[in-house]
Chains A and B, each alone.
Chain A
Amino acid sequence: MMRRTWWIYLIAVLGLVAVAAPFVWMLLGSFKTQGELLQVPPTWLPQNATTENYDALFSKANFPRYFLNSGVVALVVTAGNLTFCSMIGYALAKLNFKGRNGLFVLVMATLMIPGMVTFVPLFVLVTNAGLANSYPGLILPFLVSPFGVFLMRQFFLGLPDDLIDAGRVDGSSELGIFARIMLPLTRPALATLGILTFLGSWNNFLWPLVIAQTEDKYTLPVALALYSTGQNAQNFGLLMAGAVVVVVPVLVIFLAFQRHVTKGIAITGLK
């Protein structure tokens, strides 16, 4: 029995090493000089640790700007999803109204529509609305998500109706019951939705790639992708440092709130 356990832990640890190695490689590489990055065989620890790659990100490349763009877009998109998804989620779960089932089916149907299908007409629409290459253009299409609606609806379904009835007896308005009694109870679901939305927006690529046309509107993934395929394709240190700037905030947020993330997957079976 002891021997079996030993083997299992060895496999589990090797798996963890395989998952972590590329991240460690990235982090260490971001502190190496270009010469050292080209060295064969490669080094693990930087021999002459340098911050020149990060200096270049902040002076030569405009990464603070991209970081700001990613952050602003992700925060507004998250706020929108928390507001609008909880509103419709509550209505779908707890209110009687005509068309409720039809609306829910519609939400579920759009879960599978890929961004690839809608981006061309969306681009035409947003451009004609004068919103190409702007923050609203980056943000508006993502203010609600079918995933968020589904998550909030599922959570509201699990809350007892008695609370709503008690509120009605007390003479609260329907919106008052939603905002003051029910919404505060959904804090765990809101936390899950907030984190997943923020991460999704931070990592979003296709739409910002299409709609951000000048450099001052790039988000981090767009900037990193264009640097890595453009004239900086061979500037390995810069790209490693850029990847660190994209990945590290996400890892920090995820590790701080990981329980909410895995709970959300358990609730919905998605992501």
Chain B
Amino acid sequence: MRSRQTAAAWILVLPFVILFLAFTAGPVLGSLGMSFTDIKQRDLRTPFAVEGVGFGNYLKALQDETFRKAAFNTAYFVVIGVPLTLVVALGAAVLLDRGVKRFQALFKVGYYLPVVTSIVAIAVIWRFVLAPDAGLLNTVLGWFGIDGPNWLASKTWAMPSLIAMAVWRNFGSAMIIFLAGLQGIPQSVEEAGQLDGAGSWQRFRYLIVPLLRPTILFTSVTTGIGYLQFFEEPFVMTQGGPLNSTVSVSMYTYQQFGFGNYGLATSMAYLLFVVIAVITFIQFRLLREK
């Protein structure tokens, strides 16, 4: 009985295992190996005939002015972008769950729409939305007498613009998860708070938010992992400019790959991977404590 199951299991598992070894496990280890070598584009056909350089690529990356700038920009994007996304998502979820009873499904689907669309297409559209004179945003600001800047050409405003776009595109995803979380909170919890004389803000702050803690933690990590890899936005909207003010770690990694510096590119990707792994690990620890 048991051996029949084992045989069937291996047949069912085999395609996954083969594809996984070839296209995930292999490259993950390959990346690690390559990051310690001087492999360049000319070694493409002979990937094993390269010299080891120890931690040379890592040192080179960490000393590289542009990489540091990219790391700073990526941190900026994550540290500002993630909380903003979650605040908007939670706000929208509470609005829909507690306030909007009629047409709730319509609003839910509407807010979620940008999540399923191509970031490249979104970035192309937003370039026009953010255009200095003929752009949608500056036109709307003009109605209120505000003279908007040339968003994407400004060292100060380019990054906030990318963050705003990311919030706009991604909040729907966290909102759906928050909605599921809110619907899991029994009505009686809020009624008890109401009896104790807590106002709606107090009930939200001291009853709802603590109950949503695991959900908030989870969405902040998944959103954070996504934002750490942001790539399409600067690729399409700013090409990393002006003056590298929007170049991200992913984008710089891709550029180094484009220059043929495969070893250096993989070391940069691995640095990013380590950050992501650490954050994921911390999340699991925090969730287990509760």
A residues at B contact (CB < 8 Å):
4-5, 8-9, 11-12, 15-16, 18-23, 25-26, 29, 37-42, 83-85, 87-88, 90-91, 95-98, 100, 103, 106, 110, 112-125, 127-128, 140-141, 143-144, 149, 173-175, 178, 199, 202-203, 205-206, 210, 220-221, 224-225, 228-229, 236, 239-240, 242-243, 246-247, 250-251, 254-255, 258, 261-262, 265-266, 269-271
A18 to chain B, nearest CB (A): 7
Interface assignment of B69: CB less than 8 Å from any CB of chain A: no
- List of B residues within 8 angstroms of A118 by Cβ: 23-24, 27-28, 30-31
With A95-B8, A113-B28, A258-B109: A271-B121 Cβ-Cβ less than 8 Å:
no
B binding-site residues for A, Cβ under 8 Å? 2, 4-13, 15-17, 19-20, 22-24, 26-28, 30-31, 33-34, 44-45, 47, 92, 95-96, 99-100, 107-114, 116-129, 133-136, 139, 142, 168, 173, 176-177, 180, 218, 222, 225, 228-229, 231-232, 235-236, 239, 250, 253-254, 257, 262, 265-266, 269-270, 272-273, 276-277, 280
Contacts A95-B5, A175-B8 hold; do A26 and B30 have CB atoms under 8 A apart?
no
Tell me the minimal C-beta distance from A45 to chain B in angstroms: 14
**Given A12-B99, A42-B136, CB of A203 within 8 Å of CB of B277:** no
The minimal Cβ–Cβ distance linking A61 to chain B, given in whole angstroms, is 14
Contact status B176-A87, CB under 8 Å? no
Indicate which residue in A85, A88, A140, A265 contacts B173 across the interface (CB closer than 8 Å).
A265
Least distance between A109 CB and chain B CB atoms (Å) = 9
A103 to chain B, nearest CB (A): 7
Are B133's CB and A40's CB within 8 A?
yes
Could you tell me the distance between the alpha carbons of A153 and B27 in the complex, rounded to whole angstroms? 25
Report the nearest B residue to A175, measured CB to CB: B8
B45 to chain A, nearest CB (A): 7
Residues in B with CB closer than 8 Å to A42 are: 134-136, 139
Given contacts A114-B229, A224-B121, A266-B176, contact A141 B23 (CB under 8 A): yes
| Residue among B5, B20, B117 making CB contact with A203, cutoff 8 Å | B117
Are A270 and B28 touching (Cβ within 8 A)?
no
* Total inter-chain residue pairs, C-beta < 8 Å: 271
CA of A266 to CA of B185, assembled, Å: 15
The 6 nearest A-B residue pairs measured at CB: A121-B30, A174-B8, A8-B99, A118-B27, A97-B9, A203-B118
- Shortest CB-to-CB span from B134 to chain A, Å, is 5
The main secondary structure of chain A at its interface with chain B is helix
Q: Is the interface of B mostly helix, strand, loop or mixed?
A: helix
Q: Given that A22-B126, A113-B28, A240-B128 are known contacts, is A225 also in contact with B236, CB under 8 Å in the complex?
A: yes
Q: Give A203 to B121 CA distance when docked, in angstroms.
A: 9
Chain A residues with Cβ below 8 Å from B45 are 127-128
27 interchain pairs (CB within 8 A)?
A: A8-B99, A12-B95, A12-B99, A20-B110, A38-B134, A42-B134, A83-B15, A90-B12, A91-B9, A112-B225, A117-B28, A120-B34, A120-B265, A124-B30, A175-B11, A205-B231, A224-B120, A228-B236, A229-B239, A254-B113, A254-B116, A255-B109, A258-B112, A262-B112, A265-B176, A265-B180, A266-B176
Contacting pair B134 A228 (CB below 8 A): no
Establish whether residues B236 and A116, one from each chain, have CB atoms under 8 Å apart when the complex forms.
no
B107: contacting residue among A12, A38, A240, CB under 8 A = A12
In the complex, the answer to whether B19 meets A84 with C-beta atoms within 8 Å is yes
**Chain B, Cβ-Cβ closest to A244:** B121
A140 and B113 form a contact (CB under 8 A):
no
Q: Which residue on A lies nearest to B165, using beta carbons?
A: A22
Smallest CB separation, A198 vs chain B (Å): 10
In the complex, the answer to whether B118 meets A22 with C-beta atoms within 8 Å is no
Taking the closest CB of chain B, its distance from the CB of A10, in whole angstroms, is 11
Which residues of the other chain, B, contact A121 by a CB distance below 8 angstroms?
26-27, 30-31, 33-34, 266
A144 and B107 contacting across the interface, CB-CB below 8 Å: no
Contacts of B27 in A (CB 8 A): 117-119, 121-122, 125
B274: min CB distance to chain A, Å: 10
Docked-complex contact A37 and B16, CB < 8 angstroms = no
Q: Within the assembled complex, what's the spacing in Å between the Cα atoms of A186 and B161?
A: 42
Query: Which of B123, B133, B272 is in CB contact (< 8 Å) with A116?
Result: B272
With A19-B168, A97-B6, A100-B9 as contacts: A225 and B232 at CB distance below 8 Å: yes
Closest to A143 in B: B19
A108 nearest CB across to chain B (Å): 10
What is the CA–CA distance of A229 and B232 in the complex, to the nearest angstrom? 12
CB-CB under 8 A for A202 and B118, given A144-B19, A262-B112, A269-B177: yes
Find chain B residues with CB under 8 A from A18 CB. 168
